[in-house]
Amino acid sequence: MDFGFTAEDEGFRAEARGWLAAHADSAQDRRTWERTLGKAGWIGIGWPEGGYGNRTATLTQQVAWAEEYARSGAPPRSGHIGENLLAPTLIVHGSEKQKSRFLPPVAAGEELWCQGYSEPGAGSDLAGVRTSAVREGASYRITGQKIWTSLAHEADWCFVLARTDPGSRRHQGLSFLLVPMDQPGRIEVRPIRQMTGTSEFNEVFFDGARARVEHVVGAEGQGWRVAMSLLGFERGVSTLAQQIGFAAELGRVVRAAVRTGAVDDPVVRARLVRQWAELRAMRWNALRTLGGSGDPGAPSVAKLLWANWHQRLGELAVQVRGAEASAGPADWAPAAPYALDPDQHLFLFSRADTIYGGSDQVQRTIIAERVLGLPREPKGVV
């Protein structure tokens, strides 16, 4: 089958490994890598429309690309929010002017995006938005706070769900706004330091930040419909690439179990086999649902499966190493990011897997209400 690769593309794996070895994991390096991908047309291959500087690919080709990218050991992506969340949303709900303005820079790796959804006090209740956007002439004045905003410290733009009707409740009166992040004095980004010592997530404070009226996606008051559409794009081909990374982590845990002798314990062996079997089942489930529509529970089932699987793998990673898993590779310094080996990072970071992207409780509620038809859970007044 022809996947559209050229002779120039055959060296991608070597280029990716060489880049990763030669560059530190800095924001500037990640941005440079995005531009490298964009120049070759590798950003946006899953978009249903071409013409923005991107290649187009069938679903099978997208899967092949995502899996080969993961296997190559290529650098982590910092443009995936713009490519996989914002762009498909604009293609469905955006105006031609919005698509012409925002899609080419995403495809070129020139503009990075973050997502302004979650807020303090609302947990995973997206309808509990309190951030307000008041129209003043040709723009909106935005006031409020977002939290757990991934890569906000590197982003050029943020798509923000805000309340444009001050008298509205829950999912009514919300709008989907495209907001430039370069607004000194009006937007403040505060990194949130995690147990791992890293700060991928941030708090974002809007104090009179501006968004142009023409940058409302859909229409004023239709933000909930647009936001729900975006969440439908959140899980797809990337799930299969994610599982390639999971397989590599599982292989590392198995090798550690053999090295330490933990594999001789029948209970540990049973847990390792279970992790392998469940990973295979997740892959077949992802392939089964890939490209499908009309199943409101499929994304929630997938999230429940991988999040809990990954969390158990993190626990197993430190269990098979015994006492050595508690010793870091470098001296611990509480005032600065401290070093963790891959297993320790896996154990600590995976604690968040069942919370971010919609907690386990939220996913089970979605399945109960939208799939099983059970009575809706009462919601408090916002």
Give me 278's structure tokens: 């469940």
CA 179/CA 115 separation, integer angstroms:
10
Phi, psi at residue 291, to the nearest 5°? 80, 0
CB atoms within 10 A of CB 324: 11
Beta strands in the chain (DSSP E): 113-116, 132-136, 139-146, 157-163, 174-180, 187-191, 202-212, 216-217
Closest-CA residue to 372 (of 280, 301, 267):
301
Cα gap 118→203, rounded to integer Å: 10
> Helices 59-71 and 237-260 meet at what angle, rounded to 10?
30
Q: Residues 252-255: contacts with CB within 8 Å, 24+ apart?
A: 252/317, 252/342, 252/343, 253/313, 253/316, 253/317, 253/320, 253/343
- Residues sharing a CB contact under 8 Å with residue 330, sequence separation 6 or more, in sequence order: 338, 339
User: Of residues 8, 234, 278, 369, which has the active-site annotation?
Assistant: 234
* Residue 144 and residue 160 in contact, taking contact as beta carbons nearer than 8 Å: no
> What's the rounded Cα separation, in Å, for the pair 278 and 95?
43
- Residue 377 catalytic? no
Question: Mind telling me the catalytic residues?
Answer: 234
